[in-house]
């Protein structure tokens, strides 16, 4: 378990208080970060605070400004900003409960693990966890941490509880902004059946370890090659064009769906009435 908790306090359910500790459930270890380097000297580049027409300035002369209009700012002292920060409270009061599927996925921002702070808290912790699971509800409250107040949800996860920071309503763009212009036509039934057939065939348990960020992996390989080359130029292998590209040719949607679903290989049913037979197309070898 990490040495430092993101938040420590009590979850309050009516008159019951449960001491807990909250730890980050995600990490950013996969990202590759770079520094800008001055090639002749090999030293990192630093940035100065510069004012147009004035040049470099001291940090003591810098204030924070909120732009009202182009070039028009309201200036704020750091002490003024600190004065309006929310005092960190040590209590997360669950003020409302909603159905587990009532919160749109757009509102979820970041998950945290919630664990009992001590052995005495385990019983009440288990009662809250099992009650949420049995009722299929999610608890809502506001958490004060680091001067800000965050909207959070609390739900069961295996043997424990997960707290998820939610975005506020004004932080989420309404879907209608982008989807309003899309046609409201119903999908073709035959195409829909083929598409659902493909989905059924490819349905499997979610195993995140089976997915890799190929860009990050390629960067690590490149860095490793450069490290072994010790400054010498290396020639990168040129990957072949991925199979399946047709150079922008238009593909018939029905034919593509039938091929994907395995329908293309099936022979059509025999006609009841005798009809002139057409020459069957030559089947390509595998």
Is residue 264 situated within a structural domain? no
The CATH number that applies at residue 128 is: 2.40.290.10
For the stretch 124-143, pLDDT in tens is 999 999 999 999 999 999 99
What are the residues facing 116 on neighbouring strands?
20
Is residue 46 situated within a structural domain? no
Query: How many C-beta atoms surround the C-beta of residue 78 within 10 A?
Result: 10
Residue 110's domain comprises 7-27+85-171
Is residue 249 situated within a structural domain? no
Is residue 124 situated within a structural domain? yes
Is residue 250 situated within a structural domain? no
Q: Tokens 């001590």 map to which residue?
A: 118
If phi > 0 it is left, if psi is from -120 to 50 it is alpha, else beta; for residue 170 that is alpha
Is residue 283 situated within a structural domain? no
pLDDT band at 237 (very low <50, low <70, confident <90, very high): low
For the stretch 65-89, pLDDT in tens is 988 888 898 988 888 887 777 666 7
The structural domain count of the chain equals: 1
pLDDT band at 113 (very low <50, low <70, confident <90, very high): very high
Is residue 97 situated within a structural domain? yes
β-strands 16-24, 108-116 pairing: antiparallel
Is residue 195 situated within a structural domain? no
């Amino acid at each position: 378990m990490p040495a430092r908790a993101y938040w420590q306090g009590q979850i309050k359910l009516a008159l019951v208080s449960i001491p807990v500790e909250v730890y980050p459930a995600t990490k950013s270890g996969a990202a590759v970060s770079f520094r800008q380097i001055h090639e002749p000297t090999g030293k990192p580049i630093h940035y100065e605070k510069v004012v147009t027409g004035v040049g470099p300035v001291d940090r003591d002369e810098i204030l924070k400004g909120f732009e009202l209009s182009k070039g028009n700012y309201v200036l704020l002292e750091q002490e003024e900003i600190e004065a309006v920060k929310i005092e960190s409270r040590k209590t997360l009061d669950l003020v409302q409960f909603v159905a587990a599927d009532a919160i749109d996925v757009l509102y979820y921002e970041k998950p945290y693990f919630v664990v009992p702070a001590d052995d005495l808290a385990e019983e009440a912790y288990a009662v809250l966890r099992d009650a949420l699971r049995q009722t299929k509800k999610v608890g809502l409250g506001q958490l004060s941490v680091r001067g800000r107040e965050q909207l959070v949800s609390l739900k069961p996860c295996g043997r424990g509880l997960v707290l998820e920071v939610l975005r506020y309503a004004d932080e989420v763009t309404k879907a209608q902004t982008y989807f309003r212009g899309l046609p409201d036509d119903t999908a073709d039934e035959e195409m829909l059946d083929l598409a659902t057939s493909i989905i059924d065939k490819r349905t499997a348990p979610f195993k995140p370890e089976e997915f890799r960020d190929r860009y990050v992996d390629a960067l690590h390989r490149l860095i490793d090659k450069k490290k072994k080359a010790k400054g010498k130029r290396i020639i990168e292998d040129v990957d072949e064009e991925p199979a399946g590209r047709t150079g922008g040719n238009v593909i018939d949607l029905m034919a593509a769906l039938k091929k994907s679903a395995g329908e293309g290989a099936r022979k059509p049913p025999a006609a009841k009435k005798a009809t002139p037979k057409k020459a069957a197309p030559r089947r390509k070898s595998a």
